[in-house]
Every structure is written in C-alpha cells, then in structure tokens.
Amino acid sequence: MISAIHTINILLPLLYFTTLIVYFYDFLKAEKKLINIKRVFLFITLFLHLFYIVLRTIAFDHPPITNVFEIFTILAITISFSYFLVELVSDIRGTGPFIIILPFIFQLISSLFIQDLVEVKDVLRSNLLGFHVISALLGYSGFTISAVYGFLYLVLYKDIKLNKFGLIFNRLPNLEVLERLSLYSAVIGFIALTMAIVIGVIWLPIAFPHFSYTDPKLIGTFLVWILYAAGIISKVFGNWRGKKLVMLSITGFTIAIFSTILSNFLAQSFHSFY
C-alpha cells in the first residue's frame, strides 16, 4: 500500500500538469472536440486524487490534515473538485487553466515535501478537528475560486474598456457571469468558513485551555470573515457590484493567505502545528 501511495504521490502533480496543459490548449484553440477530453482528464485526476487520500488515511491511520503539506493535497482536491462542479453546472469555458494552475502548484509542493507520518500530536486526533479542517478548506477553496474569477473579471473589464479584443476577450465568459461566479464562490466559501469558525470555537477550549482571544490566527480569521460578510451584505442590500465587489473578494483572499502564513509559520499561535 505504501508503494502505491508513493507512486500516486509522484503521478498526481504530473496528472494535474497534463490536465492544466489540456485546459490551456483548449483556451488557446477552443476546439469543440476538446470540451469532453479536458473534463475526462480532470475527472481521472480527481478520481486518483480521492483514491490517494483514502489510501493515506488507511495507511497512516489519520486523514491527511495534520501538517501543511497534507493540507495542501486536500486543498488541491477541494479546489479542483469545486471547479469541476462549477464547470458542469455553468457549462462555461475558458476559465479552467486559471483555476487548475492552483491545485497543480499545491499538489506539486505537497508531493515534494509530504512525509509518511504515522505519529501525530494527540491534540490533532479529534473528530471535531476533522470537521473544522474540512470546512475551513472548503471555505478557502471557495475564496480562492472567487478571487480567481474576480481577477479574471478585472482583466476582461480592462480589456473591454481599452478595446483589447484578444484571447481573453474571445475565450472568457461575459462580465456578469464572472461576477456571479465570483460572488457564488465567495458565498459558499463564507458559509464553510463560518462553520469552521463555529466548530473551532467549540473545539478550542477543549484542546487549548489557556488560549488567548488576541491570538493572531483568531484575529486574522475574524478579519477575513468580517470582510466577506460585509461584501455579501453590500451586494445583497446595497449597491455594490462589479469592480468594487471583485476587488473586495481579491482583498479578502489576500488577507486570508497572509493570515494563514502569519499564524502558521511566523507568529506564535496555538495554530502553529507544523
């Protein structure tokens, strides 16, 4: 089983890379026959990735959520799975390569540095933690996809304003669709993050009786949550739309990334497990 895990660990970044190339080729050429081929590639990659996670969970007796490189492989599969659903539901073309490049990078880093950990800290052996991590990752996947669509919105917006009618103009879906995809991804991400925070708040006093509410992780996450909540409320009840809204999504994503780096690697936080 271990040798199968090692083989798939090498195969996965290669498969993500191949899928990325197929999506990128489709972006350049937009040939009708590629529509199904690229989805088959993504499906095979996702299927193998799921199999890999199940194998790891069985072989090492814990789900791969106990260190940053294990988390990266989960992040890769959640982003690509979310995109796979978006593509099936919305039937849009042209945004794939901009999303799939992220799981490729996450999986590449994970495959290079992941270790066969059997021993993990006791504090990480908790069902509540499992739910917390999965919801948090779903949340961040949503924010990542939202930010990518937001970024694409800005690029297309600028191209249309400046009369640049090149590949971006020809291949991307229209501005309203990009805005909607960015918003929906952010809403899904926000709901998942809210769940992660609630579970985290329940689990935190049990796991760390002496934690502080001024912990950088708590402040950073709360900031991200407030930002997305404000954005969603502005959209629903106010006049925020288009550029303003996607800028907010990109800012939220950037803060989320900095908060994660700060709390997990740089600052002294209860959340630094690695």
- Using the contact rule CB under 8 A, the part of the chain among 19-27, 103-111, 155-163, 224-232 near another protein is 155-163
Of 36, 115, 127, 163, the residue at the interface with another protein (CB under 8 A) is 163
**DSSP state, residue 266:** I
Of 3-11, 107-115, 128-136, 163-171: span binding another protein (CB under 8 A) = 163-171
* Of residues 121 and 158, the one with the C-beta less far from another protein: 158
In terms of C-beta density within 10 A (0-12 exposed, 13-18 middle, 19 or more buried), how is residue 258 classed? middle
State the alpha helices, DSSP H only, in 30-67.
34-60
Output 153 or 225, the one with its CB closest to another protein: 153
Q: Under the criterion CB under 8 A, does residue 117 sit at the interface with another protein?
A: no
Whether residue 227 contacts residue 245, with contact meaning beta carbons closer than 8 Å, is answered with: no
Per-residue x/- track, 188-217, another protein (CB under 8 A): ------------------------------
Query: Between 160 and 267, whose beta carbon lies closer to another protein?
Result: 160
Selected binder of another protein within 55, 123, 180, 273 (CB under 8 A): 180
Distances (CA, A) of 45 to 25, 72, 176: 17, 16, 30
The verdict on 268 binding another protein (CB under 8 A) reads no
> Which residue, 63 or 242, is less far from another protein as judged by CB?
242
Q: Which residues lie closer than 8 Å to 80 by C-beta, 6 or more apart?
A: 16, 42, 45, 46, 49, 99, 100, 103
Query: Which one of 111-119, 141-149, 185-193, 239-247 is the stretch in contact with another protein (CB under 8 A)?
Result: 239-247
Q: Which is nearer to another protein, 13 or 173 (CB)?
A: 173
Near another protein in 29-48, by CB under 8 A: none
Rounded CA separation 227/249 (Å) = 8
Of 123, 68, 65, 64, the closest CA to residue 266 belongs to 68
Query: In which residue are the tokens 């495959």 written?
Result: 111
Task: Give the total of residues touching another protein (CB under 8 A).
Answer: 16
Contact 114, 74 (CB under 8 A): no
Cα–Cα distance measured from residue 96 to residue 87, given in angstroms and rounded to the nearest whole number: 8
Asked if 158 is part of the footprint of another protein (rule: CB under 8 A), the reply reads no
Please report, as ranges, the residues that interact with another protein according to CB under 8 A.
156, 160-161, 163, 165, 169, 173-177, 180, 239, 241-243
